[in-house]
Amino acid sequence: MTGNGNPSDSIDVAFVGRANIDLTIRVPHRSRPGRTAVGSSLSSSAGGKSLNQAIAAARRGGRAALIANVGVDAWGQQIAAALIGAGVDTRHVRAIPGTTTGAAIIEVTPDGESYITLALSPATELTANDIHQATTGLATRAVVAQLDLPPEPVAALLGQRRAPVVIGNLIPHPDLDPAVLRHLDVLVVNQHEAAAILHTSIDSPLDAATALQRLGPRTVVVTAGPHGAAYTHPHGSGTVPAPAVQVIDTTGAGDAFLGSLALGLARHTPLPDAITAAVHAGSDTVQHAGAVLT
């Protein structure tokens, strides 16, 4: 897929993961066994955590690139148009013939909470070869890896150290060697993901960050929704509160947070300041419908 970007241009952040179509319906409540919930009309939009994060970074003035695969279909075309429209570098978004683009089915309840089911397209999953091809010669200040990808591309990405700042996100794939977490400069997860990784629930986001740091990452950030975020790194730890806002849709809050945080770190913003800006980016996003601000 051709698109934005000159091969000689440097990138602030390269986001490595998935791009899919979000199929969203607003419902009065989630359906119960044997019953039907009637919701709004179905809307479709470009989505996927890496795509959302790349667009969030680009919307904040960053030079963002996406490394992902899509199918050669109408959804793949819709994704390409959204990325190009947002100014994201699409040189490494590969369209694979003969396959369909993945989708996420999203239910949004009146309190703004989102319930997401991902319909993977196995043929569009990144491979280690995709990573080698995309990152060879790529000049980027930071890279964000979705750790729930198959272990081979994640290991290929983290093992070659193509960027000064390497950020990991999401629960690692169950087959991923835990030792690769030592290659991360920053691990960013929400409280639910932290509990899944630690196999126990910790009430304090700061305590969860401290426990996760023992697994190897130099810095850990744990987001806590309306309660902001907590962090720990070699030079200290702390918490950042979130402003009180009206919540419309939480779907893209974490992605807006990470897109902003990655851009801040790529531009050498001190960690507490980068997290503060990221918390406000997430808070801005939940006040609007959809995964990204338009």
The pLDDT tens digits for 171-212 are: 999 999 988 899 999 999 999 999 999 999 899 999 999 999
pLDDT at position 43 is 92
Q: CB neighbours (10 Å) of residue 179?
A: 10
pLDDT at position 192 is 94
Which of 89-98, 103-112, 259-268, 283-292 comes out lowest in average pLDDT?
283-292
Instruction: Convert the pLDDT of each residue in 252-279 to its tens digit.
Output: 899 999 999 999 999 999 999 999 999 9
pLDDT at position 5 is 52
Instruction: Convert the pLDDT of each residue in 131-163 to its tens digit.
Output: 999 999 899 999 999 999 999 999 999 988 778
pTM for this predicted structure: 0.92
In whole angstroms, give the CA distance from residue 21 to residue 84: 15
Residue 38: pLDDT above 60?
Answer: yes
Instruction: Name the residue ranges covered by the structural domains of the chain.
Output: 11-32+40-285
- Which of 77, 23, 59, 30 lies closest to 256 in space, CA to CA? 59
Q: What is the mean pLDDT of residues 87-105?
A: 97
Backbone region of residue 196 per phi and psi (left: phi > 0; alpha: psi in -120 to 50; beta: other values): alpha
Cβ proximity of 265 and 167 under 8 Å: yes
Edge to edge, the sheet with strand 186-190 lists: 93-96, 64-71, 11-16, 140-146, 165-169, 186-190, 219-223, 229-233, 236-240
Which CATH number fits the domain 11-32+40-285, given the four candidates 3.10.310.30, 3.40.1190.20, 3.40.50.720, 3.90.1170.50?
Answer: 3.40.1190.20
Residue 8: pLDDT above 50?
Answer: no
Q: 7 falls in which pLDDT band (50, 70, 90)?
A: very low
pLDDT at position 292 is 64
Edge to edge, the sheet with strand 103-108 lists: 43-47, 20-26, 103-108, 114-119
Pairing, β 219-223 against β 186-190: parallel
